[in-house]
Amino acid sequence: MHKRNLLPALYPAALLVMAQMAAAQAKPMPAVQAAVLTIQADKSLAKVSPTLYGLMTEEINHSYDGGLYAELIRNRAMQHDPSAVPAWAALPEWPLVLIGSARATATLDAKDGPSAELTRSLKLTVQQADADNPAGVRNDGFWGIPLRPNTTYSGSLYAKANAGAAGPLTVRLVNNNTGATIATAQIPTLSPEWKQYGFTLKTGTIAASEDNHFELAAAHPGTYWLDMVSLFPPTYNNTPNGNRVDLMEKLAAMHPAFLRLPGGNYLEGNTIAQRFRWRQTLGPLVDRPTHMSPWGYRSSDGLGLLEYLKWCEDLHMQPVLAVYAGYSLRGEHVAPGKDLQPYVQSALDEIEYVTGSAQTRWGEERVKDGHPAPFPLTYIEVGNEDNFDKSNSYDVRFTQFYDAIRKQYPHLQIIATAPVKSRTPDVIDEHYYRTPEEFFNDASHYDQASRKGPKIFVGEWATMEGSPTPDMGAALSDAAWMTGLERNSDLVIMAAYAPLLVNVHPMAMQWTPNLIGYDALHNYGSPSYYAQVLFSNHLGTEVTGSALAGAGPRLYESVTRDEAKHILYVKIVNAASAPQSLKIHIAGVHGIDSHARLLELHGHSMEETNTLADPMRIAPVSSSIAGVASSFQRSIPPDSISVFEIHYH
Ligand code: AHR
């Protein structure tokens, strides 16, 4: 952990003074006059939405393949190209493994695969090889194969061999720098028919590194066909076909209430044919055809509908299920009426898959897939950003979905992605990608908004500053915006930062900024991530009466309380470059504990940020503060987000 984050817990006051002095030296700004925050602690303005903070996710920036989904092998199903086998062979960066006198070629066999869905495979033709001179292919995973010491990796592959080439096949994990074999296993004999083979690779006392590759090699001349070559590290909760542990832990720390799945453009696809087809993401991996994501690469669909739902289960989130609504990104749309009906039926079937009992057609399918219990479902979202549909067909398309869903599932809350007139949606999904300036100036966006219409889901939002992840300035503007969401969470019932995840390899990224960054082995949370963690972990149950007077520029507040725990959460964002003296008056309680917990996220400039190399440069610092009373004064540092946890009785 960075030194800066340890010290303040020990010497909060000293550090605060030092930070203020440093800030004052860097930018000589006079402290502005004391502002006054008056809290009427017994005044409940509204209930805080318990689902306010959640996650929005899609396959972008290698969020799943090469990200959360723990599979280590890239293009495992040989589906990435109709005439080549990228990631395995054919290009200079993907050389064959030819040891000593070995000779071989590797091509795509476009007509032979292990299932009706995977009809292509890698054909390895070995002209010359023996035990000391093997021939084969390698895979460098998603910019490296991350290996940790004393760890077991579970692998499997589909293979067949021509009559004279019965094996063995050797699988190896090899260090790129030393060429040392880190782990090895053998598949002794191969059948002439497609068959699945399993293997395990166990590392010893190595240093953790992602500078490794995977090899598959033969020790005999012959022809070998390979497909669905898979390798998993231990996963979160040891779930087969599961998720990366470190990233799941990062997400768990956010205590998200929901997961919007699948979100964004990924639901729609560039074309209707490339939409997210939930049925094709179910069942054995060998039966998933994979599909082209709108972000320029092919999705393995290993993280499919059921895996999304298990992800919800793992992190105690409720799914917000987005169904394809007949509009795709390049402008194609399905005509409302009879053409749209199969898509409406598909949405109803999807809901049945998620929620139906074993006695229903699709519930039975889910049971077969290994999940007998139905999943809870409250929200269903129809489409994504249908305001971009220039045919203006959304109103009619939405109506068709709305009527069918309402009829069969009257208890579901239906979310529209653009304003509609023909029906009243329960919730509207609004997206905000803005500059810091815009968020700072619009932090009270919902303060005066009408409460008579649908509830609001801010289904995607982010301050557009920092790359590949947001900087401190963005975190401040995010936090300023969140004070407004929180104060108005009777109306804004859910909100999600987007995009959530980014593999920071330059070849992996399509969008910036993103909340959490990683490579094959490491990860870090951006300052905005920590702003989310602070807000989400101190939500409260009631929006409490509060008023700020005499504040300098860019001071924002939100006050909530937890009725059961008798805690006031006072959130202050000082996005100005000067400290702000703040008098806090708390009325409407019998007494207040003289010590409170203060959590502070603090930067030295707007541009300061976290990176893979310096992951905790900006992270919340917790301290206990004394002198808390019904009236007390604090200096709020510049460029800071503070959460006071004040116990009352
Ligand atoms: O979050 C990135 C993209 O922004 C989403 O895919 C889309 O919904 C929005 O335009």
Cα 3 off chain centre by = 28
Q: Are residues 229 and 249 in the same domain?
A: no
Q: Are residues 217 and 362 in the same domain?
A: no
How far does residue 77's CA lie from ligand 1's centre (Å)?
27
Domain boundary among 216, 234, 252: 234
pLDDT higher than 90, residue 11? no
Q: Is residue 167 part of a domain?
A: yes
Question: DSSP class of residue 94?
Answer: S
Q: Are residues 471 and 601 in the same domain?
A: no
| Average pLDDT taken over every residue of the chain | 94
Report yes or no: 281 and 305 within 8 Å, Cβ to Cβ: yes
Q: Are residues 255 and 217 in the same domain?
A: no
CB-based burial label for 564 (10 Å; 0-12, 13-18, 19+): exposed
How far does residue 264's CA lie from ligand 1's centre (Å)?
5
pLDDT at 25: 40
Domain boundary among 212, 234, 256: 234
Q: Is residue 20 part of a domain?
A: no
Question: Predicted confidence band at 164 (pLDDT cuts at 50, 70, 90)?
Answer: confident
Q: Ligand 1, residue 58: give the atom nearest the CA.
A: 6
Question: Predicted confidence band at 74 (pLDDT cuts at 50, 70, 90)?
Answer: very high
Q: Is residue 142 part of a domain?
A: yes
Q: Which residue has the higher pLDDT, 437 or 167?
A: 437
Q: Is residue 4 part of a domain?
A: no
Q: Are residues 618 and 589 in the same domain?
A: yes
Q: For 510-533, what is the HEC assignment? A: CCCCCCEEECCCCEEECHHHHHHH
Q: Is residue 369 part of a domain?
A: yes
How many domains are there within the chain?
Answer: 3
Q: Are residues 322 and 183 in the same domain?
A: no
What DSSP element (H or E) covers 144? none
CATH number for the domain harbouring residue 596? 2.60.40.1180
pLDDT at 13: 32
Q: Is residue 29 part of a domain?
A: no
CATH number for the domain harbouring residue 391? 3.20.20.80
How far does residue 295's CA lie from ligand 1's centre (Å)?
10
pLDDT at 33: 77
pLDDT at 31: 53
Nearest C-alpha to atom 9 of ligand 1 is from which residue?
Answer: 264
Pure H helices in 190-340: 245-252, 264-268, 305-314
pLDDT higher than 60, residue 1? no
pLDDT higher than 50, residue 22? no
Query: Ligand 1 test: best mutation among 433, 434, 502, most atoms within 8 Å of CB?
Result: 433
Question: Predicted confidence band at 21 (pLDDT cuts at 50, 70, 90)?
Answer: very low
How far does residue 198's CA lie from ligand 1's centre (Å)?
38
Nearest C-alpha to atom 5 of ligand 1 is from which residue?
Answer: 264
pLDDT digits (tens, 9 = 90+) for 531-554: 999 999 999 999 999 999 999 899
pLDDT higher than 50, residue 515? yes
> What mean pLDDT comes out for the span 291-304?
98
pLDDT at 32: 56
Q: Are residues 171 and 39 in the same domain?
A: no
Phi, psi of 418 (to 5 degrees): -155, 160
Q: Ligand 1, residue 265: give the atom nearest the CA.
A: 6
Q: Ligand 1, residue 56: give the atom nearest the CA.
A: 1
Q: Is residue 85 part of a domain?
A: no
pLDDT digits (tens, 9 = 90+) for 322-359: 999 999 999 999 999 999 999 999 999 999 999 999 99
pLDDT at 23: 40
Question: DSSP class of residue 619?
Answer: -
pLDDT at 30: 53
Q: Ligand 1, residue 294: give the atom nearest the CA.
A: 6
> What mean pLDDT comes out for the span 352-367?
98
pLDDT higher than 90, residue 577? yes
Nearest C-alpha to atom 2 of ligand 1 is from which residue?
Answer: 499
Ligand 1 shell residues, CB under 6 Å: 58, 264-265, 384-385, 460, 498-499, 511
d(CA 602, CA 470): 14
Give me the DSSP letters along 425-458. Answer: -SEEEEEEEE-HHHHHHTTTTTTT--SSS-EEEE
pLDDT at 196: 98
Q: Are residues 129 and 249 in the same domain?
A: no
How far does residue 353's CA lie from ligand 1's centre (Å)?
26
Q: Are residues 574 and 519 in the same domain?
A: no
Domain boundary among 508, 528, 548: 528
CATH number for the domain harbouring residue 220? 2.60.120.260
pLDDT digits (tens, 9 = 90+) for 210-247: 999 999 999 999 999 999 999 999 999 999 999 999 99
Nearest C-alpha to atom 4 of ligand 1 is from which residue?
Answer: 264
Q: Ligand 1, residue 431: give the atom nearest the CA.
A: 9
Q: Are residues 401 and 504 in the same domain?
A: yes
Q: Ligand 1, residue 384: give the atom nearest the CA.
A: 8
Nearest C-alpha to atom 7 of ligand 1 is from which residue?
Answer: 264
Q: Are residues 370 and 426 in the same domain?
A: yes
pLDDT at 613: 98
Cis before 513 (ω within 30): yes
What type of residue sits at position 240? P
Task: Find residue 396's DSSP bridge partners.
Answer: none
> What mean pLDDT comes out for the span 166-178?
93
Q: Are residues 333 and 481 in the same domain?
A: yes
Domain span at residue 513?
A: 55-68+237-528
How far does residue 153's CA lie from ligand 1's centre (Å)?
34
Report yes or no: 350 and 280 within 8 Å, Cβ to Cβ: no
Sign of CA dihedral 462, 466, 469, 470: negative
Q: Radius of gyration over alpha carbons of the chain, in Å?
A: 27
Nearest C-alpha to atom 8 of ligand 1 is from which residue?
Answer: 264
pLDDT at 92: 78
Q: Is residue 470 part of a domain?
A: yes
